[in-house]
């Protein structure tokens, strides 16, 4: 995903305090794009803004969108529960709140539509094919 200069909103990083997002957040900052660090604790490293987010507590999901100007989400999906059902609900909420771009962290072992992130991958493609979102799926080894 690339953000053009006219489209630089805040990027919500789910799993924001984790290994992957702790590398992404400084890259966004350096590019002039503010990251919002989401995790269950709501804490963020110095110089960054954190927000509480828990896949297991839908009642607090809206907190993640109390910051204005979020137009993209880096999506680290839940590993428990019915992932695709949860992600669908979350994506619907995010779209209602103005998010138009989603980047999913999947894995090279997960082909589209087979299970877990593969199912979520398919869902993002369907929304994209309907012209409702822009999307990317990362599949590192
Ligand atoms: N590292 C890789 O190269 C790689 C590659 C492909 C896929 N993945 C997958 O991507 C995911 C993240 O990887 P990572 O290495 O960054 O993980 P990590 O270092 O273990 O970080 C996990 C992050 O998710 C948050 N988190 C945990 N449970 C949560 C919940 N119920 N709701 C919301 N947030 C929650 C954690 O913060 P709190 O504990 O504060 O909530 C933390 O920010 C993992 O599922 C991993 O299997 C990783």
CATH number of the CATH domain containing 22: 3.40.50.720
- Is residue 108 lining ligand 1, measured as CB closer than 6 Å? no
Instruction: Select from 76, 87, 105, 117 the residue to mutate for testing ligand 1; criterion: most ligand atoms less than 8 Å from CB.
Output: 76
Sole residue written with tokens 């503010």: 34
Q: Are 65 and 9 in contact (CB under 8 A)?
A: no
- Is residue 56 lining ligand 1, measured as CB closer than 6 Å? yes
Range of the domain at 34: 10-138
pLDDT tens string 41-68: 999 999 999 999 999 999 999 999 998 8
Q: Is the pLDDT of residue 83 over 70?
A: yes
Residue 110's φ and ψ, nearest 5 degrees, are: -105, 95
- Is residue 66 lining ligand 1, measured as CB closer than 6 Å? no
Q: Is the pLDDT of residue 7 over 60?
A: no
Total number of domains in the chain: 1
pLDDT tens string 18-42: 999 999 999 999 999 999 999 999 9
* 3-class DSSP state of 104: strand
Question: Does residue 14 form part of some domain?
Answer: yes
* 3-class DSSP state of 44: coil
Confidence of residue 5 (pLDDT cuts 50, 70, 90): very low
Question: Does residue 1 form part of some domain?
Answer: no
Query: Pick the residue with more confidence: 68 or 117?
Result: 117
Q: What is the DSSP letter of 18?
A: S
Q: What is the pTM of this model?
A: 0.93
Question: Does residue 87 form part of some domain?
Answer: yes
Question: Does residue 47 form part of some domain?
Answer: yes
């Amino acid at each position: 995903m690339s953000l053009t200069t006219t489209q630089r909103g805040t990027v919500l990083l789910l799993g924001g305090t984790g290994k992957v997002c702790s590398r992404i957040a400084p890259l966004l900052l350096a590019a002039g794009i503010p990251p919002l660090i989401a995790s269950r604790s709501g804490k963020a490293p110095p110089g960054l803004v954190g927000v509480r987010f828990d896949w297991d507590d839908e009642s607090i999901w809206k907190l993640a969108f109390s910051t204005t100007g979020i137009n993209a989400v880096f999506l680290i999906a839940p590993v428990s529960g019915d992932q695709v059902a949860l992600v669908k609900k979350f994506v619907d909420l995010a779209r209602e709140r103005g998010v138009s771009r989603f980047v999913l962290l999947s894995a090279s072992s997960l082909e589209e539509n087979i299970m877990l992130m593969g199912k979520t991958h398919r869902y993002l493609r369907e929304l994209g094919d309907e012209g409702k979102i822009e999307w990317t799926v990362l599949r590192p080894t």
